[in-house]
Amino acid sequence: EVVMTQSPLSLPVTLGQSASISCRSSQSLVQSDGNTYLNWFQQRPGQSPRRLIYKVSNRESGVPDRFSGSGSGTDFTLKISRVEAEDVGVYYCMQGTHWPRTFGQGTKVEIK
Amino acid sequence: EVQLVESGGGLVQPGGSLRLSCAASGFTFTSYWMTWVRQAPEKGLEWVASIKEDGSEKYYVDSVKGRFTISRDNAKNSLHLQMNSLRAEDTAVYYCARETNTRDWGQGTLVTVSS
């Protein structure tokens, strides 16, 4: 199975500053159709996960443009610009290229 | 608006069975793969199983193979997860999600396996 490794696992940030989360996969996530199925999710305390980004860099409708995804192959990044209080929660990457689907361990974002 | 509403969770003894359901609305159910994801208490997310639009393909995480069965009723826009031979480590909130890339999620249903 493809192992997804996130870092850091804990990320204290100052309001208004930016934050970056890394996600590395043990195999390339480029599928035979040419797409790279790397997703990012946000889980706020007490809530269900919500998909923020799909196919590396595509934002879901309603997701603020402060969130951006980048990367290729096996190395991906989620960046949050100008962190706000509502961004507190756990962020997960997930690969949708190989079976079984696999998630990263999660990165907890908190305000300093 | 997409809605996914899970039900069927509860307390069950080790070795017991439980059947989860997910009622889907707000989209054309027959056009999408569907997925179950679980989250053990204070732990991360774990993909459990996915099923193709017509039910012809199913995939499972190794830890549930032979014990869990994913199915769907396209006439009733519903997804199911039959869970047999339950173990303590199956204790989790189980989420229903649209697509194999889990585009939309339900609110989850809690399954507790304990004597």
Segment A36-77, tens digit of pLDDT = 999 999 999 999 999 999 999 999 999 999 999 999 999 999
Pairing of strands B78-83, B18-25: antiparallel
Instruction: Tell me the percentage of chain A whose pLDDT exceeds 70.
Output: 100
Closest CB from A51, A102, A106 relative to B47:
A102
CB atoms closer than 10 angstroms to residue A41: 25
pLDDT at B100 over 90: no
User: Quick check: B101 contacting A, CB < 8 Å?
Assistant: yes
Selected residue of A98, A101, A105, A107 to mutate for chain B interface (largest B Cβ count, 10 A)? A101
Q: What is the pLDDT of residues B6-35, one digit of tens each?
A: 999 999 999 999 999 999 999 999 999 999
Q: In what order do the strands lie in the sheet with A19-25?
A: A4-7, A19-25, A75-80, A67-72
Query: Rounded CA gap, A87 and A89, in Å?
Result: 6
Q: Which A residues 40-79 touch B at CB under 8 Å?
A: 41, 43, 48-51, 54, 60
Pairing of strands A107-111, A10-13: parallel
Closest CB from A60, A100, A106 relative to B59:
A100
Q: What is the pLDDT of residues A70-101, one digit of tens each?
A: 999 999 999 999 999 999 999 999 999 999 99
**Residue A73 confidence (pLDDT):** 95
Closest CB from A50, A60, A101 relative to B47:
A101
Give, for B10, the enclosing helix (H) or strand (E). strand B10-12
CB atoms closer than 10 angstroms to residue B95: 24
Contacts of B52 (CB under 8 A, 6+ apart): B33, B58
Task: For residues B76-102, give the mean pLDDT.
Answer: 97
Q: What is the pLDDT of residues B27-71, one digit of tens each?
A: 999 999 999 999 999 999 999 999 999 999 999 999 999 999 999
